[in-house]
Amino acid sequence: MNRFLNNPHVELTVRWLIGMLFVYASFHKIAAPSGFAKIIYGYGLFPNISVNLIAIIVPFIELTAGTALITGVYPKSAALIINGLTVSFILAISANLIRGHEFDCGCFSGKSATPEPAWLTLLRDIGILGMGVFVYRYPRFRYFCLLQTETFSRISHSDQEAAVTASKGELLP
């Protein structure tokens, strides 16, 4: 398991996956901030004065952090931001699930799809958080990064493995 979690290819795949997910998720919110603002209002958790500001800023945090994860600019910081956002989503959804607050604005006219159930969103967000925490905690050199601030010996994964095997070999009688 450790070997799997330390594999830089796994890190790259997971990092790109959540990066793309957040970039994708930000698009329709950026295209229609008024609709997103209404969803935030619908949560009934935020003061009226902050609703629009959240709707303006949050999609761009998603976009920037997502892009940073894909391109590998401050990947650890981007993962921290993504995790922060995901924790906030989880808290907001849980709060509404617990108090049984459902917001039906009656906006879904015609053939618009009904929204997915909250527990499914919650489950998905917990999965995303797991992946985010993995990317954040990944201790080694990351592949395909434009700007990685952590200092590592810049040797490849296979070299690291070889070094470990070699050192173990030396200890053997």
Partner 1 sequence: MKTNNTLKGVSILSGIAIFLSFFVNYVSPAGIALIGQWDESQGAIRAKTKAEKVFDESEIKDVNIGKAVFDRQIAVFIDARSVEDYKDGHIKGAVSLPVGEFDMKIDEFLNKYPPDRPIVTYCSGRTCDDSHRLAEMLTAMGYLHVSIMIDGYPEWQKEGFPIE
Give residues in contact with partner 1 (CB under 8 A): 30-34, 37-38, 41, 48-49, 51-53, 55-57, 59-61, 63-65, 68, 73-74, 76-78, 80-81, 105-112, 149-150
Both structure tokens of 166: 């070699």
Cα angle 67-11-5, degrees, rounded to a multiple of 5: 155
Nearer CB in complex with partner 1: 109/158: 109
Nearest distance, CB of residue 171 and partner 1, angstroms: 30
Cite the beta strand spans of the chain per DSSP E: none
Nearest distance, CB of residue 172 and partner 1, angstroms: 34
Phi-psi region of 53 (alpha: psi -120 to 50; beta: other; left: phi over 0): alpha
Query: Residue 163 in 3-state DSSP?
Result: helix
Nearer CB in complex with partner 1: 77/121: 77
Nearer CB in complex with partner 1: 2/112: 112
Nearer CB in complex with partner 1: 149/156: 149
The b/e string for 8-24 (b: 16+ C-beta within 10 A; e otherwise) is beebbebbbebbebbbe
For 147, phi and psi rounded to 5 degrees?
A: -145, 100
Nearest distance, CB of residue 85 and partner 1, angstroms: 11
Nearest distance, CB of residue 36 and partner 1, angstroms: 8
Query: Residue 115 in 3-state DSSP?
Result: coil
Nearest distance, CB of residue 53 and partner 1, angstroms: 6
Residue labelled with tokens 């008024």:
34
Nearer CB in complex with partner 1: 61/122: 61
